[in-house]
Amino acid sequence: MDPRLLKYAELNVPRYTSYPTAPHFNESVDGVVFARWLSELTPSTSISLYVHVPYCQRMCWYCGCHAFAVRRDEPVAQYVEALGCEIDAVADASGGTRVRELHWGGGTPNSLSPERFQAIVERLHHRFDMSALERHAIELDPRLLTEEQAQTFARCGVNRASLGVQDLDAGVQAAIGREQPFERVRDAADRLRDVGIAALSFDLMYGLPHQTHESVRKTAELAASLRPDRFSVFGYAHVPWFKNRQRLIDAEALPGAEARLSLADTIGETLRAAGYVPIGYDHYALAGDPIARAARTGQLQRNFQGFVEADCDALIGLGPSSISTLPQGYAQNEPSVGDWRAKVNAGVFATRRGKALNTEDRRRRDLIMRLLCDFELEIADPRGFEREFAALVPLVEDGLVRVNGGRISVPAESRPFARVVAQVFDTYHQQGNARHSRAV
């Protein structure tokens, strides 16, 4: 690697699924504020609902999500009951209920029984207008997917599924606490397609312990042989200060910055050779997929689901730790399941913190969005951005970015470092000391 780039690969920078990013949320946004924001939505507002299922049957050591292992039925039953109350409260408070997208994440959404999953869907259909629903997506653990679950998902209108593949090397799987043979992934994909859920996405990871170029190449080749529509390729974020379970991973076995970038390149080369086109800086898709069309036409968006082909006017998060993105700002629920459930059952919104957006926040959010989605942007009036253009000078000298007047572009060879360029426009990052994952 060019030594000029290596220093950037070692930087810690936000993923920018929001701006400002979550570490800069504060408690000035509470349940009262969130209720007011909901009431200000209109009947024409297009809504994306996100349901966070916080439970897994067993925890993977690499996981940085708000999720917990559970083996008893009682906590799950209590969660489902509280979720129903939250659905009712949101629907009652919201000035708009027209849902265009529904996403399930976690945790492990298919840790729910088919009966409980269907009951939640029926509650949503009862309280929201689902007549315009276009995308109904769910994240799945292929190890748990049963025939009954697949049939239930199809019956409930699920039309897109994301499978957590991560890595298919047995040695790497043992080092991250997730044993998952290729055959299990293949069977899950076949099961979903057999019931009519044909739009599939796979998650892959690099930067895991004991990964080699040969192992990640084989993983990518095996995964691509199943022909999912999309891939999301994430760098493992080792943040044991944030998630204690990551202390089970041998930090000495983790690749360094240069090796991480090389592993990511190997995965990308393998997927491109298999017919997938790069989307943003960490997604890949078949050329006919909607996300690929959005990238070609300049309509690609980025939110908490990553790079997406369209964005609704409002995203409403349900469940513990979920984040809502409303026109007025961000609102995040209590991360603790117990605290979330206690507030919901008491008849109040479980909003813990958030961030009201001002005009400057929105302007910078748009700049960062376009830079990460299109790898270029035009600042017609540079007044007020003198600091940013000065900060870009060393990045230009190192080849990360090109600047021509007010036009800023990231060349193809530097796109893995796009977040480093985006960070220049992040005034909150300059002011704070939040800890983030590596740039690559």
Q: What is the dihedral of CA 47, 52, 53, 56, to 10 degrees?
A: 140
62 marked as part of a ligand binding site: yes
237 marked as part of a ligand binding site: yes
Q: Are 395 and 401 in contact (CB under 8 A)?
A: yes
50 marked as part of a ligand binding site: yes
107 marked as part of a ligand binding site: yes
65 marked as part of a ligand binding site: no
DSSP characters over 350-389: -EEEEEE--HHHHHHHHHHHHHHHHSEEE-S--TT-HHHH
Helix (H, G, I), strand (E, B) or coil at 309: coil
Token pair, residue 340, equals 């979330």
Helix 147-155 × helix 114-127 angle, to 10°: 10
Work out the number of other CB atoms within 10 angstroms of the CB of residue 28: 11
Q: Are 228 and 198 in contact (CB under 8 A)?
A: no
Element (H, E) at 33: helix 31-39
139 marked as part of a ligand binding site: yes
What sign does the CA torsion over 122, 124, 126, 131 have?
A: negative
60 marked as part of a ligand binding site: yes
108 marked as part of a ligand binding site: yes
Token pair, residue 255, equals 């690749």
203 marked as part of a ligand binding site: yes
Question: What is the distance between the alpha carbons of residues 254 and 240, in angstroms, rounded to a whole number?
Answer: 13
Helix and strand element counts for the chain (H, E): 15, 19
Question: What is the distance between the alpha carbons of residues 311 and 323, in angstroms, rounded to a whole number?
Answer: 15
Residue ranges of the annotated binding site for S-adenosyl-L-methionine are: 50, 62-64, 106-108, 139, 166, 178, 203, 237, 323
Residue ranges of the annotated binding site are: 50, 56, 60, 62-64, 106-108, 139, 166, 178, 203, 237, 323
Residue ranges of the annotated binding site for [4Fe-4S] cluster are: 56, 60, 63
